[in-house]
Amino acid sequence: MQTIHNPNAKATVTKDQVKSWGEAAQQNISPNIVLDFEGLGNLEEISQFYNGGTSSSGFPGNNHGISFIGSAMAVIDADTGGTGNFANEPSPNTVMFFQKGCGTTINVSAGFTNAVSFYYASSTAGTVNIYDGPEGTGNLLASLAFLPTLPGKAEGDPNGYFSSWKPFAVAFSGTAKSLPLSGVENQCGFDDITFGSKTPGRGVVSGTKTPAPDKTVKARTETGQTAKGITTKGKYLVAGSNRLELNIGSENQKYGSSESKYSYFDFDFQPRAGYFVIDNLATGLFMDLDLYSYKAKDDTYSYKSTYFVIGPFARYYINIWDKLVPYAEGQVGFGVDNEKSKYGGSDEWSKTNEGVFTFRLGGGATYFFNDIVGADLFLGFLHDSYKYKDTGSPERASDSKYIYNEFIMQLGIVVILDL
């Protein structure tokens, strides 16, 4: 398993290098308090570094009255002499992680207001809680989960598995004094923890490499316990599966010495449109229209059908990762299937009218290329029931029923619109 700290890497960074990074960071002034962890040594506990303490090299951090309780440690990018298995960190070269345990509590003695934000790269989900008392006491002002990030490309930064850094923010009302932050040990990295702003960081630190955080996903920000992402309340979902098709062609059939030629036409259109009534839950209508014709070229046989079904559907997304989002879905439809056929040169058509009931249950996943468009995969069970109410075919008695059950796989495109 890939980890933030690579135990097989050998640290070569010197105390003088670490000190120079800390000095450069302190020269980069910001209107908000930003903890970028520069000036801390590789695998050094953060503890009182921002509360009047010093690093192992004796370098004093800015005294913001901020202390860390728990397993929070600093780790330096392996590309600059540390043991960090990451790249593209927003303010190189140092980030925070949990080497042991599952989190830390950040105490801010003077308190802070409005919001807290940071960049993170993580293979697992975690949680941010904000309290108006020290050490996670008092009233809970806000709580928000952050999602795993997929590994990115370490462009401009030679090595590192955890290379896709996402902005994350939590807004709240009141004055907060502690920030319990939880995650899985050695699987979550944090940088540029910013107090009082929804936008993390303070720009590029002088003398360091240029950051390249992934900007394709906007910061997740909320004032309660609901994550804001792509599939949020108030947006619209438009989708089409692989049954959107148009087939025109011909075929030859040969039986012994006899040969028949047929031409056919098949148009099948199955769109759906929905509205996110709450975060991650979209409800709406789907439609299935199928026009089919089949005709012998010698006019000995002709067949045509029109199939139309409409009904409600519901899809619930389960936000586990940023781009690949699983979902569960169900739909129920009602409609008609009108068929007609004729033999020989007759002008009279034998007609059949069928009532259709269908339902589909299953799930799948959408891979979002960006905040709008995604590729969709569905796997599930499909039930179709046809009841013949009016038939001109002697082979099909009125009020008879035909039932089809099958497992299906469909590919499609999903579009999320924020109108």
Whether the CB-CB separation of 39 and 23 falls below 8 Å is answered with: yes
Which amino acid would we find at residue 311? G
CA distance 196 to 129: 15
Higher pLDDT, 257 or 303: 303
| φ, ψ for residue 19, nearest 5 deg | -65, -40
Mean pLDDT, rounded, for 195-210? 65
Q: Is 90 exceeded by the pLDDT of residue 419?
A: no
Task: Please identify which residue in the block is written with the tokens 């990030």.
Answer: 149
First vs last C-alpha separation in the chain: 42
Q: Residue 221: its pLDDT value, please?
A: 46
Both tokens of 89, joined, read 């960190």
How far are the Cα atoms of 58, 310, 325, 410, 412 from residue 379, in angstroms, in the given order? Answer: 59, 20, 14, 7, 12
Both tokens of 165, joined, read 């850094």
Q: What is the mean pLDDT of the chain?
A: 84
Confidence of residue 257 (pLDDT cuts 50, 70, 90): low
Burial label, 413 (beta-carbon count in 10 A; 0-12, 13-18, 19+): middle
CA distance 365 to 328: 8
Confidence of residue 31 (pLDDT cuts 50, 70, 90): confident
CA distance 354 to 332: 17
Domains of the chain by start residue, with CATH: 15-195 (2.60.120), 236-417 (2.40.160)
Q: Residue 291: its pLDDT value, please?
A: 87
C-alpha angle 276-282-285 in degrees, rounded to nearest 5? 115
pLDDT tens, residue by residue, 176-197: 999 999 999 999 999 999 999 9
Q: Is 50 exceeded by the pLDDT of residue 259?
A: yes
pTM of the model: 0.57
Q: Which of 90, 119, 72 is nearest to 219 (CA)?
A: 119
Q: Residue 1: its pLDDT value, please?
A: 82
Higher pLDDT, 359 or 152: 359
CA distance 225 to 90: 26
Between strands 94-98 and 66-70, the pairing is unpaired
Whether the CB-CB separation of 117 and 170 falls below 8 Å is answered with: yes
pLDDT tens, residue by residue, 270-321: 899 999 999 889 999 999 988 888 787 777 778 888 999 999 999 999 877 7
Burial label, 255 (beta-carbon count in 10 A; 0-12, 13-18, 19+): exposed
Q: Which of 176, 213, 257 is nearest to 92 (CA)?
A: 213
pLDDT tens, residue by residue, 213-235: 443 334 444 443 333 467 888 88
Confidence of residue 411 (pLDDT cuts 50, 70, 90): confident
Q: Which of 67, 195, 197 is nearest to 135 (CA)?
A: 67
Q: Residue 303: its pLDDT value, please?
A: 82
Higher pLDDT, 297 or 174: 174
